[in-house]
Structure 1
Amino acid sequence: MGGRSINVETAARWVSSYFDEAANRAAAVAKYGRPFAYPAYDRMATGSGRDDLNDGDLISPLLLNAGPTITAFYSLQSVLPSLLSGLAAVPPHLTLQSAVCDGRHRKLIEGLIGALDAPERIPGVGLTTLTKILHRKRPLFIPLFDRRVKACYLGLGDRYPMHPVSGRTDTTFFSTLAECMVDDIVRQPNHWAALKAEAPEGTSLLRVVDVVAWNLGTDI
């Protein structure tokens, strides 16, 4: 993944463990238990449809330890029309792979992530929180992002596909990251198919990608 690597067997154990609902629910009630966020985040019932965002959707990143703060919540409410417009432009069944292949991804990502680059920005909100909100609505198209995903793809040296660039917008960064993720997926189809098979039926490939990156992106 990006500039880091792990054998498929280890990655499969990560995926299987993360998506073990029974183990996660048991850990939630055990003293000192450390449950993973499946199915709490993935199945969080907010009462909204796939083309809508309500207050419950805006706080869904809390289940992934990614905020938002009160300030960020109000900020997100203020840009809901922009987010909904961007969401409406993305067909529900469009995969990131297909969008990158035909070059549609950059414009579509700009419609969703561009709010972070606007002059007024979104106080208290960054890529991590925003992608975790949007992924639940377009799980085939929007990857999840955090510092561990970033650690897999951005770094110094030739092994990393992305390098630090001063002044790069969030839209450009995320579009480039999406291209790098798709490159990993299409170059290793059998590996990713095997990893996806370790997750519950209906789990998107991008969710599996995130689980692997979250484990792999720790300091090694």
Structure 2
Amino acid sequence: MCGRGGEGMSRGTVCVGGRSVIADRAAQWIRQYFDAEANRAAAVAAKGRPYAFPAYDRMNTGSGPNELNDGDLLAPVLLNVAPKLHAVLNLQAVRPDMEAVLAAIPPRLTLQDAVASGVHTEPLRRIGELLDDPALLRGVGGTILMKIMHRKRPLFLPLYDTQVYACYCGPGAQYPIRKSPQRTWAEFFPLLGDAMARDLDGQPHTWKALVSWAPDDVSVLRVLDVVAWNLGSRRGMHTPEPIDLSDAPEQ
């Protein structure tokens, strides 16, 4: 069972969707991922494998909070996902639609507050609709799109990739979202946001403790993504054994 609320970090378990890990192990993942000095050292070392912080999180493209310039569209590269040329051209074409979604989201609105008040569905649905038209964003999937959008609303918009999917979608009762090949992106993203908010609200003290291991400008959704990235990579394991992150691929 997942730890809840007041459980100490040494005894608690943190849940991400249908998977879980001892909170101390999750804290280790977070400390390693957000160690900027170690990441810079790894970048210059032979066969170094740096993580994406601070390159992705503090990337300065010169754009405003509601703007997406060409540099912003290339941000997924820093998370090891490189959009191809046709994907970038298609992203440029729908840039006004992406910026309109950002403009409708208050910068300080958290995903948890949005879910509690029921206002999370519309912006997440609008993002999904961009992906549901195959002619509109050819070459772009949920991973690329959310890695672009998250930087502009890190308190509200979650990151997404196959590891996140592995944590939240599955056949067992412990998974909050059942797999469905008929489900559209516009239907999926609100479900994902709701499930993430439930995880955060269900273990507030645990997540507060985990976030304390990251720099102050890092959001809880970014921290959740790091935990999900590790858990989702360990397919079929709900309580992973300690792993050596020095051999893990960069995110």
Is the pair's TM-score, using the shorter chain for normalization, greater than 0.5? yes
Tell me whether 1:90 sits opposite 2:97 in the alignment.
Answer: no
Partner of 1:99: 114
CA distance in 2, matches of 1:143, 1:76: 19
Tell me whether 1:186 sits opposite 2:201 in the alignment.
Answer: yes
Alignment match of 2:80 (pick from 56, 60, 65): 65
Per-residue CA deviations over 1:127-156 (Å, capped at 9, x if unaligned) read 000000000000001000000011111111
User: The residue matched to 2:173 in structure 1 has which SS?
Assistant: coil
Partner of 1:27: 42
CA distance in 2, matches of 1:82, 1:114: 10
Moved over 6 A (4+): none
| Deviates further, 51-60 or 159-168 | 159-168
Tell me whether 1:176 sits opposite 2:191 in the alignment.
Answer: yes
Alpha-carbon distance, 1:88 to partner? 0.6
Alignment match of 1:200 (pick from 208, 215, 225): 215
Tell me whether 1:8 sits opposite 2:48 in the alignment.
Answer: no
Contact 2:158 2:193 in 1 (8 A): yes
Unaligned runs of 5+ in 2: 1-15, 238-251
Contact 2:111 2:197 in 1 (8 A): yes
Query: What are the equivalent positions in structure 2 for 1:38-57 lying under 5 Å apart?
Result: 38-57=53-72
Alpha-carbon distance, 1:110 to partner? 2.0
CA distance in 1, matches of 2:186, 2:156: 15
CA distance in 2, matches of 1:87, 1:55: 16
Unaligned runs of 5+ in 1: none
Partner of 2:144: 129
Contact 1:12 1:195 in 2 (8 A): yes
> Letter of the aligned partner of 1:61 in structure 2?
P
Partner of 2:169: 154
Per-residue CA deviations over 1:32-53 (Å, capped at 9, x if unaligned) read 1100000000111111011100
Alpha-carbon distance, 1:119 to partner? 5.8
CA distance in 2, matches of 1:41, 1:210: 13
Alignment match of 1:215 (pick from 230, 234, 238): 230
Alignment match of 1:144 (pick from 140, 156, 159): 159
CA distance in 2, matches of 1:29, 1:207: 25
Alpha-carbon distance, 1:117 to partner? 1.7
Tell me whether 1:74 sits opposite 2:81 in the alignment.
Answer: no
Alpha-carbon distance, 1:109 to partner? 1.2
Alpha-carbon distance, 1:166 to partner? 2.7
> Letter of the aligned partner of 1:170 in structure 2?
W
User: The residue matched to 2:21 in structure 1 has which SS?
Assistant: coil
Larger % of helix: which? 1
